Structure 1
Amino acid sequence: MENNTTSEENEKEQKSTKDENGQQDEHNTTEDESGSKEEQSATKEDNVEQQQEEQKEEKRQESSEASGFGSGIPKESAESQKSWKSQATESKDEKQRQTTESNTIESIMVGKAWELCNATAGYDYIPCLDNEAAIKKLTSRRHFEHRERHCPEDPPTCLVSLPDGYKESIKWPESRNKIWYHNVPHTKLAEVKGHQNWVKVTGEFLTFPGGGTQFIHGALHYIDFLQQALKNIAWGKRTRVVLDVGCGVASFGGFLFERDVIAMSLAPKDEHEAQVQFALERKIPAISAVMGSKRLPFPSRVFDLIHCARCRVPWHNEGGMLLLELNRMLRPGGYFVWSATPVYQKLEEDVQIWKEMSALTKSMCWELVTINKDKLNGIGAAIYQKPTTNECYEKRKRNRPPMCKNNDDANAAWYVPLQACMHKVPTNVVERGSKWPVNWPRRLQTPPYWLNSSQMGIYGKPAPRDFTTDYEHWKHVVSKVYMNEIGLSWSNVRNVMDMRAVYGGFAAALKDLQVTYPRSYDLLHADHLFSKLRPRCNLVPVMAEVDRIVRPGGKLIVRDEANVIREIENMLKSLHWDVHLTFSKHQEGILSAQKGFWRPDTSP
């Protein structure tokens, strides 16, 4: 142990000092000798006390590890952290931090007077999409710039109001078929799309018959139609991760769960009101975004299949810029399913779009694998496959669309302007995207082929071992700590956002608990997120955002440094959240809290 070594060195130094003192002038006074002995005795006593304290700490640490707290939390490697301090030094520093921080935290947060947001969007307020000042300054809306993210420079610290009559959301899987009307009180979509089986108003509920423009006889029938059209899709095996563009109310993604497939449903906040809000209330993962002038917020080569059913995206326009964005996100060998009128209708406009789309996909080296008609629904689907090598790119007679420049990072996604170019298929066997991942569910716990043993992982082990350690750690924490110690009822949790995922081990650990991932409102999980944000961010707007996206009745779990846990606890109390548990040991802590229905008083 580092601490024991330090103690032994201290004792050696003290003995050496004592020997040297013995060789000093024998004419030292009796009083000096007496004082020296007292000092040495006191030093020895201090060292004994320190050793005893360290032994106690070791026992506490072992106990803590057995229960899943404290040292059970993987530590980031020394490459990303400063050198570790001794326990004694750390305790001393912690006491100093507590002294300087506790007063300010208590005084600022416990008595904080929160206010409701004064926004036109009211209870649907999304700061980055409802920034009216930024939208007014736009010089063009041609590429739907007004539907894109425009985050305010100063993050809001206000709270979003609740709709009148809001109730605790309906549990999954019943929520897939109906939601409380008062939770998402929008009827325009039902009025416009009711005849197409999207959504209907039924008493105090909004109901979702499971159909849509392209699958009037149910989403499951349509999903099975695609499987029959191309066996190699292999839902829930080869195909696990899907992006559904222009998802509507997300029935396609909602019923893909029946085939062990998880879809990210994507739609803009537009004239159809908050389609994504319907999806999230139904407990289906979804994100508000638009295919406009910037890349979508996903890295490259991550989706097994991308789907568009009458999604109203002009794929063939402007050199195919939007289709090329799908090409960036699609794995080599992945499929694009296009179920739209140009595939199966012969109207003049449809014929022209099909002609242009055919030329574009051919120039992109996409193979048209099949076109199939669904006679029951009266629709059809074209299925394309992205190439797995660069051979076709190199043989093209015209370099259109062009290949992207070598210095263009395909993984860069935040606020990166779209370009009408393609990235090469990776050829290095240890590069992500050079081959197809293992089938699901083995993919869940098998280290990806591109994690190299020569690479040091975030926790200081070879990357593949790091990946496995992360998965095993979160399986233990989820089953032992969160279920037994915190008493979290996973049957009441559907969609989860892990706000600092690292390898995704927490999400993987939830697979057998029948909850979905990635974004929604039932549970937010933060593993050492706030201590990472704290040096560069004011945590007040962060907590306001947490409060905004968690449902009343939803929960927050935080694992972090003890002083950060105290700060978060005080903020949550000021928000009138019910803090169920706070637990701290050796500068590490855990907190569990539940949001209630409280909102600030609007009366003068």
Structure 2
Amino acid sequence: MQIWYDNVPHPKLVEYKKEQNWVRKSGEYLEFPGGGTQFKDGVENYIEFIEKTFPSIKWGNRTRVILDVGCGVASFGGYLLEKDVITMSFAPKDEHEAQIQFALERGIPATLSVIGTQRLTFPDNAYDLIHCARCRVHWDADGGKPLLELNRILRPGGFFVWSATPVYRDDPRDKSVWNAMVTLTESMCWKSVAKTVDSSGIGLVIYQKPITNSCYEERQENNPPLCDKKDSQKISWSVPLEGCLPIIDSGEQNWPALWPERLSSTPQSLTTEPSADEIFFEDTKHWVGLVTDVYLEGLSINWSSIRNVMDMNAGYGGFAAALIDQPLWVMNIVPIDGPDTLPVIFERGLIGVYHDWCESLSTYPRTYDLLHASYLFSNLTTRCDVIDVVIEADRILRPGGSVLIQDTLETINKLAPIFRSLHWETAIYEEQFLVGKKGFWRPISVKNV
């Protein structure tokens, strides 16, 4: 696996990690051999080691959607793609340079994020498994709020795989961290289902989140306390971290259908709504037809050159589901001012985040090959200037990439001149689809005039 060095010209990580085989420079390319601090025998062996340690994980069957915390260059998530596992890799920008930019350049799903003072932009009970290999997070900090945030987004019955020095080293500092972790996980009713060390001396522990509230109710101390029911109804956008345990509803106790059946099964989060299953299946049918008959065949888009796709207004994730057999992945964005459909997207075995398109998206420039938006822009006009959103799309999209917009003809006629002002090529199809192709033009800076 390799990328052009000039696309991500960051030599610092290559030098800093040269002994750990993360990434190396070879002529005009950067290569990623699958090594890492915790992957001494290679990431493929590490992935197999996890499943061998606890076979119930069942990569690509029971475990489909995972989060990789402090992902580095995202080799863990990249190699899991071959097992039908979709990984949301995330990390902040730190002294190791722009590792998320490396990940996206490699075509691996990733987002810039940090567990700090606010909730991550994911819904409750989203992930089947969360992984952390030597990530620099103090899980017991601030009353354990960082680990409690992982508990919020981990599905009941889901797993947390922690591979870090406190698991397998006995020096005083690591012992102290391990003891704090034991105390915290026990208070959260997480069960340690496996703990082991591989042939290279690297160890890991696997925790499992409970599927009922019985353990919470049997604790001698109500610490951490149970969350207020209304807290679970908040969309995870600009919401402070909370030091509590969400109550597990009876509807959350059942695992989704195994992959790939879960992609088309009615999500549990919709079963309580009248006619929800009918609406869901009609939506799925609509997107299969539109993608097959129009998007893949009738528009001037070279799909063979597309890997990183973003759906800016994802709904139930029907667009991404219809593209599941294509060699690409879709980041599903659910706008915060619309219906909260992100739980449905995760239940289907897809990934995504919440976002307000009146603000900048937390990603690096020029990292997506195609942006898709169905009736997004006409709904934004009352909240912000669509010119700013177009400029943000221009920032996110790679030169040579495309934008595919379905909207009213009135909105399309407003958008097309804005894209052309940025020297994009545009075409309108059937009076409802706008296809724009980004060129390599950039404004001349004043200092160069």
Alignment partner of 1:441 is 2:260: yes
Residues 285-330 of structure 1: CA distance to partner in whole angstroms, max 9, x if unpaired? Answer: 1010111111111111000000000001111222211000000000
Provide the residue aligned with 1:229 in structure 2.
53
CA drift of 1:410 comes to 5.5
Provide the residue aligned with 1:178 in structure 2.
2
Provide the residue aligned with 1:381 in structure 2.
204
Indicate which of 92, 95, 98 corresponds to 1:271. Answer: 95
Provide the residue aligned with 2:120 in structure 1.
296
For 2:144 and 2:233, the matched residues in 1 are separated by 17
**Structure 2 alignment gaps of length 5 or more:** 333-366
Question: Aligned to 1:408, what secondary structure does the other structure show?
Answer: helix
Indicate which of 245, 249, 253 corresponds to 1:422. Answer: 245
CA drift of 1:545 comes to 0.4
Judge conservation of contact 1:496–1:521 (CA < 8 Å) in 2: yes
Provide the residue aligned with 2:129 in structure 1.
305
For 1:193 and 1:542, the matched residues in 2 are separated by 37
User: What amino acid is aligned across from residue 257 of structure 2 in structure 1?
Assistant: V
For 1:449 and 1:209, the matched residues in 2 are separated by 40
Question: Aligned to 1:592, what secondary structure does the other structure show?
Answer: strand
Provide the residue aligned with 1:590 in structure 2.
433
Q: 1:392 to 1:283 in 2, by over 3 A?
A: same
CA drift of 1:453 comes to 6.6
Indicate which of 283, 286, 303 corresponds to 1:470. Answer: 283
For 1:495 and 1:204, the matched residues in 2 are separated by 22
**Structure 1 alignment gaps of length 5 or more:** 1-176, 456-461
Alignment partner of 1:198 is 2:22: yes
Judge conservation of contact 2:124–2:232 (CA < 8 Å) in 1: no
Provide the residue aligned with 1:147 in structure 2.
none
For 1:577 and 1:510, the matched residues in 2 are separated by 25
Provide the residue aligned with 1:254 in structure 2.
78
CA drift of 1:517 comes to 2.0
User: What amino acid is aligned across from residue 230 of structure 2 in structure 1?
Assistant: N
Question: Aligned to 1:506, what secondary structure does the other structure show?
Answer: helix
CA drift of 1:508 comes to 0.5
Provide the residue aligned with 1:325 in structure 2.
149
For 1:394 and 1:268, the matched residues in 2 are separated by 36
TM-score of the two chains, using structure 1 as the length reference: 0.67
Q: 1:548 to 1:368 in 2, by over 3 A?
A: same
Question: Aligned to 1:566, what secondary structure does the other structure show?
Answer: helix
For 2:47 and 2:239, the matched residues in 1 are separated by 33
Residues 171-195 of structure 1: CA distance to partner in whole angstroms, max 9, x if unpaired? Answer: xxxxxx2111111111111111121
For 2:123 and 2:109, the matched residues in 1 are separated by 18
Judge conservation of contact 1:453–1:464 (CA < 8 Å) in 2: no
For 1:524 and 1:219, the matched residues in 2 are separated by 31
Provide the residue aligned with 2:63 in structure 1.
239
Judge conservation of contact 1:454–1:463 (CA < 8 Å) in 2: yes
Judge conservation of contact 1:181–1:204 (CA < 8 Å) in 2: yes
Indicate which of 218, 222, 230 corresponds to 1:399. Answer: 222
Question: Aligned to 1:468, what secondary structure does the other structure show?
Answer: helix
Indicate which of 570, 574, 589 corresponds to 2:417. Answer: 570
Judge conservation of contact 1:523–1:550 (CA < 8 Å) in 2: yes
Indicate which of 395, 418, 431 corresponds to 1:548. Answer: 395
Alignment partner of 1:496 is 2:301: no
For 1:479 and 1:412, the matched residues in 2 are separated by 33
Residues 374-403 of structure 1: CA distance to partner in whole angstroms, max 9, x if unpaired? Answer: 11x320110000000000000000111111
CA drift of 1:450 comes to 3.1
Judge conservation of contact 2:301–2:402 (CA < 8 Å) in 1: no
For 1:463 and 1:555, the matched residues in 2 are separated by 33
For 2:151 and 2:81, the matched residues in 1 are separated by 25
Q: What is the RMSD of the two structures over their aligned residues, measured on CA atoms?
A: 1.3
Identical residues among aligned pairs (%)? 52
Greater relative contact order (Cα < 8 A, sep 6+): 1
Provide the residue aligned with 1:372 in structure 2.
196
For 1:524 and 1:374, the matched residues in 2 are separated by 42
User: What amino acid is aligned across from residue 583 of structure 1 in structure 2?
Assistant: Y
Question: Aligned to 2:325, what secondary structure does the other structure show?
Answer: helix
Residues 431-472 of structure 1: CA distance to partner in whole angstroms, max 9, x if unpaired? Answer: xx23211111000011113313752xxxxxx21111111111
CA drift of 1:487 comes to 4.1
Alignment partner of 1:485 is 2:309: no
TM-score of the two chains, using structure 2 as the length reference: 0.90
For 2:281 and 2:230, the matched residues in 1 are separated by 32
Higher strand share: 2
User: What amino acid is aligned across from residue 188 of structure 2 in structure 1?
Assistant: M
Question: Aligned to 1:513, what secondary structure does the other structure show?
Answer: coil
For 1:536 and 1:244, the matched residues in 2 are separated by 34
Residues 163-217 of structure 1: CA distance to partner in whole angstroms, max 9, x if unpaired? Answer: xxxxxxxxxxxxxx21111111111111111211111122111111111111122
Provide the residue aligned with 2:381 in structure 1.
534
User: What amino acid is aligned across from residue 125 of structure 2 in structure 1?
Assistant: R
For 2:195 and 2:386, the matched residues in 1 are separated by 52
For 1:270 and 1:477, the matched residues in 2 are separated by 42
Rg: which structure is higher? 1
Higher helix share: 1
Question: Aligned to 2:132, what secondary structure does the other structure show?
Answer: strand
Q: How many residues align?
A: 413
Residues 397-446 of structure 1: CA distance to partner in whole angstroms, max 9, x if unpaired? Answer: 0111111223323643111111211111112x3xxx23211111000011
Provide the residue aligned with 2:341 in structure 1.
none
For 1:438 and 1:537, the matched residues in 2 are separated by 40
Q: 1:410 to 1:202 in 2, by over 3 A?
A: farther
Residues 584-604 of structure 1: CA distance to partner in whole angstroms, max 9, x if unpaired? Answer: 44xxx1011211110012243
After TM superposition, where is structure 1 displaced by more than 3 Å over at least 4 residues in a row?
Answer: none
